Amino acid sequence: MEPVRTSASGTILVVDDNTDVRTVVVAQLHSLGFSVVEAGDAVAALKILKGSQPIDLLFTDVIMPGGMTGLELGRHAQTIRSGLKVLYTSGFVEAPLQNSEQLAAAQGNMLTKPYRLKELARKVKGILLSETASD
């Protein structure tokens, strides 16, 4: 299999409550040459975002426990760090979230689980190299 390469670089904050999924995506992003910071929920992610560590992209699961969805996290994150780019992921973009105005706006920045390394690389690179932040 041909190695996946990306010319984009930066630091990605990965937020997923599932430890196994988070471990896999962190390893994938490391293999693509990115620095990665990880959080298990929105509260931990917001704490990181309020700190001084550079974050170029927030990569968050849409459905998480704890009272804040990934969509809400993305919105809060962009108020803390203006211009922060966000990539959402989910295996369950259905039911109550389908009617969400914010979900509709995020569709271009959505990566549906399960995804392959090539899909992850293409989506992350595209977002990081885009001129504007996602909403």
- Whole-model pTM: value is 0.86
Classify residue 68: in a domain, yes or no. yes
Classify residue 73: in a domain, yes or no. yes
Classify residue 103: in a domain, yes or no. yes
Please tell me the total count of domains within the chain. Answer: 1
Of 120, 88, 91, nearest to 104 by C-alpha is 88
* Domain hosting residue 77, numbered range: 11-129
Task: Give tens-digit pLDDT for 105-133.
Answer: 566 788 988 999 999 999 999 999 986 55
Classify residue 46: in a domain, yes or no. yes
Question: Under 8 Å CB-to-CB from 109, ≥6 apart: which residues?
Answer: 85, 86, 87, 88, 123, 127, 134
CA distances to 75, 81, 89, 90 from 115, in Å: 24, 28, 9, 10
Classify residue 30: in a domain, yes or no. yes
CATH value at residue 31: 3.40.50.2300
In order, the DSSP letters of 60-76 are: EES--SSS--HHHHHHH
Classify residue 97: in a domain, yes or no. yes
Classify residue 6: in a domain, yes or no. no
Classify residue 115: in a domain, yes or no. yes
| Residue type present at position 46 | L
Q: What is the pLDDT along the chain (135 residues), one digit of tens a residue?
A: 444 555 568 999 999 999 999 999 999 999 999 999 999 999 999 999 999 999 999 999 988 888 898 989 999 999 999 999 999 998 875 544 544 565 565 667 889 889 999 999 999 999 999 865 554
